Copies of this chain bind each other. A is one copy, B any other.
Amino acid sequence: MGAKLGQNNVKGEQTKNAILAAAEQLFAESGYRGASLANIAERAGVTQSGLLHHFNSKDELLVAVLEQHNRDDDALLIGPLSMGGVDVITGLRELIVQNSENRVSVRLFAVLVAESTSVDHPGHDYMKARYDRLRNRLVGALSIGIQRGEIRADADLEVLASALIALMDGIQLQWIYNSQVDMGAAFDLVASALVQSMTGGATAA
């Protein structure tokens, strides 16, 4: 016993990653329901049985894909959020532009977020929690702007955060259908307008 170094890993970890990558692609293309374990396994260079050896069920595979992307997302968010205040908004623009290099990733979440609206969908809770987390973080980062006096104190940060997230999600959807759509420009347009109005003193209506 002692060392318990049984985990040979290396080989197993490789194919596991291959499966994860294949699953990511196919879930992004066809959604969770539309992608079959057989397809995923094939693309990963394994049989379906081989796949099931590493992930006990399709649900489990989904969760694994989600968790992996979760970590990536967190890493990407550190930058924009660390700025705090109004810069958060311009930071999000960077994020969206970076994302445009990552078609699969964008598509993965755009597709799964919508598919997971069904309460019985295996990704439902995850997505719901993700929205809450995103909003909370954004609100936190934006509130620094109020302390600094960059943002009007009476601004409703919850609503602002929701709007920003909505804009990102929505523009990504259009971009998937037509890559001519300029995500950066669209975000810039409302971001600059937003900054302008949040810093100024004018109150709507």
- Which residues on A are within 8 Å of B, measured CB to CB? 29-31, 33-34, 107, 110-111, 113-115, 117-118, 121, 127-128, 131-132, 156, 159-160, 162-163, 165-171, 173-174, 176-178, 181-182, 185-190, 192-194, 196-198, 202, 204-205
Say yes or no: A117 contacts B111, CB within 8 Å. yes
Contacts of A194 in B (CB 8 A): 189-190, 193
On chain B, the residues within 8 Å of A31 by CB distance are 31, 33, 114-115, 118
* A182 in complex: contacting residue of B159, B171, B190, B196, CB < 8 Å: B159
Q: In the assembly, what is the distance between CA of A192 and CA of B181, in Å?
A: 23
Distance in Å from the Cβ of A35 to the closest Cβ of chain B?
10
Q: A29-B118, A33-B34, A111-B114 are in contact. Are A190 and B167 (CB under 8 A)?
A: yes
Chain B residues closer than 8 Å to A114, beta-carbon distance: 31, 110-111, 113-115, 173
Q: Pick the contact of A192: B160, B177, B205 (CB < 8 A).
A: B205
Q: Is the CB of A162 within 8 A of B174?
A: yes
Query: In the complex this chain forms, how many copies of it are found?
Result: 2
For chain A, what secondary structure do more than half of its interface residues adopt (helix, strand, loop), or is it mixed?
A: helix
Contact of A163 with B189 at beta-carbon distance under 8 Å, contacts A31-B118, A114-B111, A169-B170 already known: yes
Q: Nearest residue in B to A204 (C-beta to C-beta)?
A: B192
User: In the complex, what distance in Å separates the CA atom of A121 from the CA atom of B35?
Assistant: 12
How far is B165's CA from A171's CA once the two chains are assembled, in angstroms? 8
Q: In whole angstroms, what is the CA distance A110 to B192 when docked?
A: 27
User: Within the assembled complex, what's the spacing in Å between the Cα atoms of A197 and B193?
Assistant: 5
CA A186 to CA B186, docked complex, whole Å: 17
A162 to chain B, nearest CB (A): 5
Assuming the contacts A34-B118, A192-B204, A202-B196, asked whether A162 and B177 have C-beta atoms less than 8 A apart, the reply is no
